[in-house]
Amino acid sequence: MHRRHFLTGLAAAALVGCSSSPTEAAPPPPFRPTRFSVEVRGSGPDVILIPGLTAGRGIWSRLVEAVPGYRYHLLQVSGFAGEPARGNASGPVVGPLAEEIGRYIEAEGLRRPAVIGHSMGGTLAMMVASKWPERVGRLMVVDIPPQPSGLLGSDAARMRGLADSLRDFASTPTGRQIFESVIGGMSGEGTRPSDPDVVARAMHELATLDLTADLPRITLPMTVVYASLDPRSNARQDAAYRAAFARAREPQLIRIDRSGHMIMLDQPARFNETVRAFLTRRT
């Protein structure tokens, strides 16, 4: 056989062999979040519900029943309300949680869902909306300023030392016992306890976090709902939230009177109507 014909045939055989062999890389496994779990209820436009520090998805049960017609994605943070710590077993909590929520929206193919977050959940919602505004359709922040330490009448710089001490104290046996007793009634549900170590680390991040500079990057419609327990504090609350969200793009600020921090439990009828109006509001 002519040498050139031999080489040509050899190359052709090699190409045929390569094309018929399973050389393509296997597709990556589907995304499964480890820092939170999700329970999906209902059908319709997508709404993501994020509870706050130590709380479980049960805080949204009345809302889901009262406002049908949506596909609700009820998140629960790993380590809170009896959920195993899993991905939150060590290291930072809040920042990586926001990353996973953003990834969940993309992996599930959700088309600009509404995102509603209470307290720490509101912080997470703002973080997601500021980093990926194209992935979120509209945003509701419930009773949390962009600088969470503002709930305590302080700021992140002043809270850092106290936050460091609390985090370190929670890692000791005595501190863990105290944290367990303190956080037992924080969820607003009276259900399963939260992991004190996860709570302490999340509290540390929240105490030292300030999202004020990120507000201008939230380009989607935003509603901020906040509580006022005493009518005498209404004006003070109004001024505080106006100042806190001054750099946001025309947020709708809504005060719910005679309510503590757990608005959805203290004033469920008013809160549910507020959410219904938020979800149907034209943008």
Beta bridge partners of 47: 72, 114
Residue 75 falls inside a structural domain = yes
Q: What is the per-residue pLDDT for 162? A: 52
Residue 252 falls inside a structural domain = yes
C-alpha 242/C-alpha 224 separation (Å) is 10
Residue 186 falls inside a structural domain = no
C-alpha 221/C-alpha 282 separation (Å) is 10
DSSP string, 164-210: HHHHHHHTSHHHHHHHHHHHTT-SSS--SPPPHHHHHHHHHHHHT--
Other residues' Cβ atoms within 10 Å of the Cβ of residue 51: 30
pLDDT tens string for the chain (283 positions)? 454 444 444 344 443 444 444 556 777 788 999 999 999 999 999 999 999 999 999 999 999 999 999 999 999 999 999 999 999 999 999 999 999 999 999 999 999 999 999 999 999 999 999 999 999 999 999 999 999 987 655 555 555 555 555 555 556 665 555 545 445 545 455 568 899 999 999 999 999 999 999 999 999 999 999 999 999 999 999 999 999 999 999 999 999 999 999 999 999 999 999 999 999 998 7
Q: Which domain holds residue 134?
A: 36-147+210-280
C-alpha 140/C-alpha 279 separation (Å) is 9
C-alpha 189/C-alpha 134 separation (Å) is 34
- Closest alpha carbon to 224 in 188, 263, 269, 186: 263
Instruction: Tell me phi and psi for residue 47, to 5 degrees.
Output: -135, 125
Residue 64 falls inside a structural domain = yes
Exposed (0-12), middle (13-18) or buried (19+): which is 152, by Cβ within 10 Å? exposed
Q: The tokens 């503590």 sit on which residue?
A: 260
- Closest alpha carbon to 211 in 144, 118, 158: 144
For 32, the enclosing helix (H) or strand (E) is none
The C-alpha angle with vertex 278 and arms to 241 and 256, in degrees rounded to 5, equals 45
pTM > 0.85: yes or no: no
In degrees to the nearest 10, what's the CA dihedral of 149, 61, 283, 136?
A: 70
Which positions ≥6 away from 38 have C-beta within 8 Å?
73, 74, 75, 76, 104
Domains: count for the chain: 1
Residue 247 falls inside a structural domain = yes
SS3 47: strand
Instruction: Tell me phi and psi for residue 5, to 5 degrees.
Output: -65, -35
Q: The tokens 């962009």 sit on which residue?
A: 146
Q: What is the CATH number of the domain that holds 123?
A: 3.40.50.1820
C-alpha 105/C-alpha 113 separation (Å) is 8
Residue 162 falls inside a structural domain = no
Contact (Cβ atoms closer than 8 angstroms) between residue 188 and residue 221: no
Q: What is the per-residue pLDDT for 157? A: 53
Contact (Cβ atoms closer than 8 angstroms) between residue 134 and residue 69: no
Other residues' Cβ atoms within 10 Å of the Cβ of residue 251: 20
Contact (Cβ atoms closer than 8 angstroms) between residue 271 and residue 225: yes
Residue 175 falls inside a structural domain = no
Residue 204 falls inside a structural domain = no
